[in-house]
Amino acid sequence: MNGVIVVDKPKGFTSNKILGRVKKILNIKKAGHTGTLDPFATGVLPICLNEATKLIPYFNEEYKEYIGLITLGIETDTLDETGNIINNKTVGKIEESDILTCLYSFKGSISQIPPMYSALKVNGVRLYNMARKGEVVERKPREIYIDKIELLSFESPYIEFYVRCTKGTYIRSLASDIGAKIGCGGSLKELKRVSSGQFSIDDSFNLDDIEENKYKIKSINELLKEYKNINVDDDLEKIIRNGKKLIKKYFEHLFIPDLKIKEKFVIKNGNRSIAILEALKSTIEIKDINNSETIFKILRVLNYS
């Protein structure tokens, strides 16, 4: 069993708890998830099984999509509903047009300060451990990018919104900043991740589905379909698996796609993806070098049938 199962994480569980449940249900020893969700959050949690764990660094999950619900007027120390209320303000009259103007002002590149209740480390210590002791330390702003942000509904004091943003964006901080800009403060009440790169909520399964054997695993070939590839025979596959230097001579009779220096690509033998390589030379440069020069670097070798 090699591939990824996309889990629709339920509320109230850590990502690692769900990972453990899936491993137990499927009776597998090796698994890992690609991105942590807070316990109160729900939605897309990709879990890699066996050999697919080797691929985690190579998934394109630059953009993630969320649906969130903000409670205006309520500010908490964690910036979400799980924290202690530190401010409770009157919301007052707000027009939908005011909400739209506010949301659209966050579109594009923005600077965001990570929340104290986060797993980010400062001087080797997790921020949430400091926060639990009542400590507050200076955090450096981080540049993030909001590709899309849309108002889904507004019924005071609740704002439901959709956002597509770069990896590393704190939606709790975004909710708090939106509330502050409106003028009454706010905190995140609900959060659902609806996509993470190639992984979508439409392809997800809940724990009951998995327990009842009603699920589908994304195969390794499917996971790597966005990469360019070179198809090799059994002899060259053996050379790659033995970790030998990949010199031009081995590939001179094969079709090599247009590659840039440091571009990653997939080696296939028929219908099996067997390795991820990195180009040490561009395709143009490869044409002009001698047959004994190393042109590719092995990053991962996959062992599955």
Name the residue with higher pLDDT: 289 or 116: 289
Structure token digits, residue 113:
């300060």
Beta bridge partners of 293: none
Q: 86, 89, 83, 145: which is closest to 112 by C-alpha?
A: 145
Residue 25 in this model has a pLDDT that exceeds 80: yes
Q: What is the pLDDT of residue 110?
A: 95
Count of H helices and E strands in the chain? 8, 18
In CATH terms, the superfamily for domain 63-193 is Pseudouridine synthase (3.30.2350.10)
Beta strand 229-231 with 108-112: parallel, antiparallel or unpaired? unpaired
Query: How much of the chain exceeds pLDDT 70, in percent?
Result: 100
The 8 Å CB, 24+ separation contacts for 267-272 are 267/229, 267/230, 267/232, 267/237, 267/240, 268/229, 268/230, 268/231, 268/232, 269/231, 269/232, 269/233, 269/234, 269/237, 270/231, 271/221, 272/221
Q: What is the pLDDT of residues 202-256, one digit of tens each?
A: 999 999 999 999 999 999 999 999 999 999 999 999 999 999 999 999 999 999 9
- Are 196 and 35 contacting, i.e. CB atoms less than 8 angstroms apart? yes
Residues 288/291/295/299 CA torsion (nearest 10 deg): 170
Q: What is the pLDDT of residues 28-74, one digit of tens each?
A: 999 999 988 989 999 999 999 999 999 999 998 899 999 999 999 99
Q: 255, 199, 240, 201: which is closest to 222 by C-alpha?
A: 199
Which fold, 3-60+198-222? Pseudouridine synthase (3.30.2350)
Answer whether 3-60+198-222 and 227-301 agree in fold: no
Assigned CATH for 227-301: 2.30.130.10
Given the residues 38, 77, 80, 177, select the one marked as catalytic: 38
* Structural domain boundaries in the chain: 3-60+198-222, 63-193, 227-301
Residue type, 22: V
Sequence-distant (6+) residues with CB within 8 A of 114 are: 120, 127, 139, 142, 170, 173
Q: What is the pLDDT of residue 137?
A: 83
Distance in angstroms (rounded) separating the CA atoms of residues 269 and 30: 25
38 is catalytic: yes
Arithmetic mean of pLDDT over the chain: 94
Query: How much of the chain exceeds pLDDT 90, in percent?
Result: 85
Q: What is the pLDDT of residues 107-124, one digit of tens each?
A: 999 999 888 887 778 878
Give the predicted TM-score (pTM) of the model.
0.91
